[in-house]
Structure 1
Amino acid sequence: MKTLNVKRFCMATVLALAGAAAQAAGFQRGLAANAEGKPLEIGIWYPSPAAVQSTPVGSKTLQVAVNGPVQGKALSLVVISHGSGGSFLGHSNTAMATALADAGFVVAAVTHAGDNYADQSRSVNIMDRPLQISRVIDHMLSSWNGRAAINPERIGMFGFSAGGFTALVSIGGVPDFSKTDAVCRQHPGDFACQLLAKNKQPIVLPPSSSTADARIKAAVVAAPALGFVFAPDGLRKVKVPVQLWRAENDVLLPHPRYAEAVRLALPQAPDYHVVPRAGHFDFMAPCDQAQAAHSPDICASATGFDRVAFHARFNAAIVDFFRKTLGAH
């Protein structure tokens, strides 16, 4: 999730890490059909032999080869779910998308309909999100012009904050939202509780009883929102490997109600990382000077925390995890 200022959260999408320019990242924008609502905007990164160029995409400049040919066969696909109020660009400039593409993965990042920087009309309807992830996977396997290069048995997912919740549901998690009442009475300052109080409506469940997608074979979950709704056994159906990240000093999703609750509920121990001195937004990449001036609460890190160095390790660990769990290219 995010701070209550949606526009400032969007500004947390940042420039690529210094020296991390992509050498093999093709890029396309697309729309995935969504029977549950508006078409879903997606950004697609993939290995390509074409030369990259500085390309404006929204308010950002990406180092990509627009519409370059896809290179490789039987490639793994990783889908990305952003935090509340974000966009498909939310993890592009961390070098995560380009790092994965350089490593031989296809990456599809969605802008969640109804919970993005321009429209938060359905931000409380968090169960919309796993359904939207399935629509993105449908698009990538059946409609994308590079679909022949994807191995449908090698699909992974990355999710941050609300996207981390999305990933857990997508791999079989069953949340119990009745727990929010007791937690929010005791901890009204938690971001989820503030969001619910602001919207003055409960979390709405989808018409389908299941939103899991069996095509997802591995997941990376960073700072998962609403982690407590999975305790104690809401993740018992999760059978895929999980890499789990927690920021030691996360004040938006305080320990132990979120990532720790997820760790304890998973039936198999995750590849668990606690990032010392990190805050919630340190999972977003380092900001440039303009972004730091505009969004200090998102861009500032604790004294002594090297956000640039952390992201180099973060991206490398994610690439390594997906190589091990989905198959090396």
Structure 2
Amino acid sequence: MRQLSLFAAALAAACVAALVPTLAAAGVGFQHFNIPDPKGGAPLEVGVWYPTASSGKPQPLELYTQTVAPDAPVRGHGHVLIVMSHGHGGSYAGHHDTAEALAEAGFVAASVTHNGDSWKDSSRATHLEDRPYQLEVLTNYMLDRWPGHDRLATDRIGAFGFSAGGFTVLTLAGGEPDLSTLKDHCRERPAFTDCQIVAAAKFDFTAPRVWTHDPRVKAVVSASPAIGFAFGKAGLAKITAKVQLWRGEDDPVLPNPFYAEAVRKDLPVPPEMHVIPHMGHYEFLAPCPPAMTRAEPEICAHEDGFDPVAFHARFKKDVVRFFRAALKAPGNDGRSRPG
């Protein structure tokens, strides 16, 4: 009888343990739409990932596939907003796996395709002042006009960016870059990717630019930020947001020490820094599916021994942890307010 009781107790415990992930798990809702530019420019393409009680199904997303519930109702209240900025020539979809992880954790992640610097149109790629402005437009829309805006917390916002997007979110958080520094940088390093872009665009190093800042941004994840050297200590002095900074040890596009390392040294408060061995640049994008590998082999290539799937499992976990701690955000594990 005692053995039977122990068996029954163990079986009950196993059943409870098996049920916990099911009960705690939340689906990911997804919306894709355009929002107006208040200055009269072309509409901005947006993707939004958010918690939902609905089950997801595999759905195409450009060259990717994601498991989401399109247009499902938002689950819960008080979700912290994370706005996302892609790299040069990318789109809102490039970090969908990170956005899904944020939504699973109880955040609402909203990503914009930057007009003039996407795979569809790169005609304004060197007009870097457009980018933080467009991210602020996205933030305002999400807080004021998105159908689920009443489900969002309004007192703290996070920003995530990669490459040119990493530069964008640092600027949005208060950074003031001096783009005239590009002139000497590129005179000495003409083969660098940023210098090739500048040369092709016949860049005006002295053109006046107005940079958009948003004091609502309280935490920033910047992965391999472009032209980090252009900030300097003075240009980063007004950043009060907490910063998590990432770079690949073997990044050939934005090589050390001119970009992420320059930002790390000059931030007024030391960031949470991550340097990933044997990693290049584009591995911060969601792992490439076969269709993308065929279409973009250079972007999808990586060093032998580097596992992009394993890296992204760690990356997503650390990004969620950082935003949750920095923004005092509740989790999607039963502590969020349902409804």
Please give the secondary structure, in 1, of the residue aligned with 2:235. Answer: coil
Please give the secondary structure, in 2, of the residue aligned with 1:98. Answer: helix
Q: Which amino acid aligns with 1:260?
A: E
Larger fraction in helix: 2
- Are residue 146 (structure 1) and residue 148 (structure 2) matched? yes
Q: CA RMSD in A?
A: 1.5
Deviation for aligned residue 1:169: 0.4
Q: Which amino acid aligns with 1:86?
A: G
Deviation for aligned residue 1:205: 5.8
Q: Which amino acid aligns with 1:324?
A: A
Indicate conservation of the 8 Å contact 1:128/1:206, yes or no.
Answer: no
Indicate conservation of the 8 Å contact 1:241/1:270, yes or no.
Answer: yes
For 1:60 and 1:297, locate their aligned partners in 2 and report how far apart those are by CA, in whole Å. Answer: 17
Equivalent residue number for residue 312 of structure 1: 313
Q: How does 1:223-302 map to 2 (within 5 A)?
A: 223-302=224-303
Indicate conservation of the 8 Å contact 1:174/1:235, yes or no.
Answer: yes
1:91 to 92, 95, 107: 95
For 1:206 and 1:69, locate their aligned partners in 2 and report how far apart those are by CA, in whole Å. Answer: 44
2:135 to 133, 136, 145: 133
Equivalent residue number for residue 175 of structure 1: 177
2:115 to 113, 116, 122: 113
Q: Show CA shifts across 1:202-245 (max 9, x none).
A: 2686764x411011110000000011101232100000100000
Percent of aligned pairs with the same amino acid: 47
TM-score if structure 1 supplies the norm length?
0.89
Give the number of aligned pairs: 305
Q: Show CA shifts across 1:173-201 (max 9, x none).
A: 00011110101010011111100111113
- Are residue 327 (structure 1) and residue 331 (structure 2) matched? no
Pick closer, same or farther for the CA change 1:195–1:292 going to 2, 3 Å. Answer: same
TM-score if structure 2 supplies the norm length?
0.87
Query: 4+ residue runs of structure 1 moved beyond 4 angstroms?
Result: 203-207
Indicate conservation of the 8 Å contact 2:223/2:245, yes or no.
Answer: yes
For 2:301 and 2:216, locate their aligned partners in 1 and report how far apart those are by CA, in whole Å. Answer: 37
Please give the secondary structure, in 2, of the residue aligned with 1:88. Answer: coil
For 2:131 and 2:205, locate their aligned partners in 1 and report how far apart those are by CA, in whole Å. Answer: 12
Equivalent residue number for residue 189 of structure 2: 187
Equivalent residue number for residue 81 of structure 1: 85
Deviation for aligned residue 1:23: 4.6
Unaligned runs of 5+ in 2: 1-24, 331-339
Unaligned runs of 5+ in 1: 1-21
Indicate conservation of the 8 Å contact 1:32/1:139, yes or no.
Answer: yes
Pick closer, same or farther for the CA change 1:235–1:171 going to 2, 3 Å. Answer: same
Equivalent residue number for residue 6 of structure 2: none
Equivalent residue number for residue 56 of structure 2: 52
